[in-house]
Each structure stands twice: as structure tokens, then as C-alpha cells.
A = this chain, B = another copy of it.
Amino acid sequence: MASKSFYAVIAGVGAGTGRSVALRFARSYPVVLLARKPESYNDIVSEIKKQGGEAIGISADTSDPQSVSSAFEAIKKELPDKKLAAAIYNVGAGFAVKPFLELTPSDLNTSLASNAGGLFNFAQATLPSLLDSVPSSPFPPSLIITGATASVRGSPRFATFAAGKFAARALSQSLAREFGPKGVHVAHVIVDGVIDIPRTKEYRVNDGVEDGKISPDAIAESYWHLHTQHRSSFTHELDLRPYVEKF
């Protein structure tokens, strides 16, 4: 169904959602992985290659417009003949959990820069290419953004994190309304729960019940479904949470 003339790019890869999304999309496209440090993507690149897929990793700080530009110039050199089918923004920094009066302007700026600024830079770099792919892409060219509970709910101790996530959701909505009618599918996913990754192994959530943490592979399946939706039936927003999660 998909095509080797197209590629997908995933910003924000590590042990969780980013890795699973990369593996899932690599079943149909060469994938480009962006992360600040090579150690975040090196293993995933190897894993994809081992499974017969194509992958390259590029170091980039999405919160820096210059760094994003350089990364996309590098992509152009590495994949000169390929068009962009899907861009996934999965960067999740700026997670400071503190009472409001202990937070600093720097906590706020880190969250805004990584969640909103990074998405802004990534969207500006990818949307022209996604628009360019509209007539030929096997599925509607897609920009998919990873959100969180904090995208729709400001909580005590999460004030600055929520600020960044709300701002990213504002961008997502604005982009969906502007670029949807041009054929680009912009979707925002509210991941509402703890993701089951090595770092959260010890977390006891939902009373430790089986499947009480979100499988990142399951998230990736929903991202792939979003990408393959027919343009007459785009989803802009969906939530994902473990069956046992309170909401």
C-alpha cells in the first residue's frame, strides 16, 4: 500500500512512543529519526535495519529553528528523491512537577520551547513538504502530534508542563483547520496514562494491574491508523488510555 518514494520523519525518539512509531512506520516507509543525542536513535536505527527497513538518525534540537533547518537540509541530502508522507512530533520535555511557587521562569520556558516552540519549528519545516506530497502520497500526508493529559487539563504541580502542552494543542488545532482543506491530515493524540517503557518499569500505576500502562506499540497502531484514514474521514483528536485508567 505504501511506497519507497516516500519517507516518514519522527521527532522525539527514545525508548517509548517514538521508537514504536518509528518501527511501525518503517514497515511502509524509510524513516528519519530526530533526537538531540545519537544515543536516543542509534539502537532504533539498527533495530529497523535488522528487520529489513531503512532508517537514518539525525541529531537535532527541535526547540532551535536553526537546528531544525539543518536537519531537514541533511534529510534532503540523504534522501534526495523521496517525498514526505508523514511527520510525527513526539518531543516531550519540560516535565517539571512542582508546586507553582517553586517553579521558575526557566521551567516555563523549557516547557514552552520544547512542546510549543519545537512543534512550531517542526511544522514549519515539514508542512511545505507535506503539501507537496498531497497529489501523490499513498495516504494523505500527515502531521501527528503527541499530546498528554496535560494538553486538556491544568493541574496543581503541572502548571508549566500544561502550559506547553495546551500551547501545542492550540497549534495542532490551528494547523488542522488551515492545512486540512489543503489535503494534509493534522491530528493530535491525547496520551492519558503512563507509558510502559523501561523508565517506568518500577512505577506502580493502576494498582499494578496487567496492561495498566499504555503499550507504546498500541499507540503506534493508532498513529498508523490516523495516517491511513481516507481524506473524507479525518480524525483530528483522539484519546488513548489504559482500560483501567480513571478519567
Contact = CB atoms under 8 A, between A and B. Distances in A.
A9 interface: no
Contacts of A232: 193, 196, 211-215, 218, 242-243
Interface size class of A (residues with CB under 8 A): 35 or more
A234 B211 CA distance: 11
Contacts of A65: 105
B154 A171 contact: yes
A110 B145 CA distance: 23
Interface string A21-49: 00000000000000000000000000000
Nearest to A99: B178
* Copies of this chain held together in the complex: 4
A66 to B, nearest CB: 10
A170 B150 contact: yes
A236 interface: yes
A239 interface: yes
Contacts of A246: 177
Contacts of A247: 177, 236
Contacts of A198: none
Interface string A184-222: 010000000100100000000000000111110111011
Contacts of A154: 169-177
Contacts of A153: 173
16 contacts: A100-B178, A112-B112, A153-B173, A154-B169, A159-B175, A162-B173, A163-B171, A163-B174, A166-B166, A167-B167, A218-B230, A225-B225, A231-B243, A233-B240, A234-B242, A236-B247
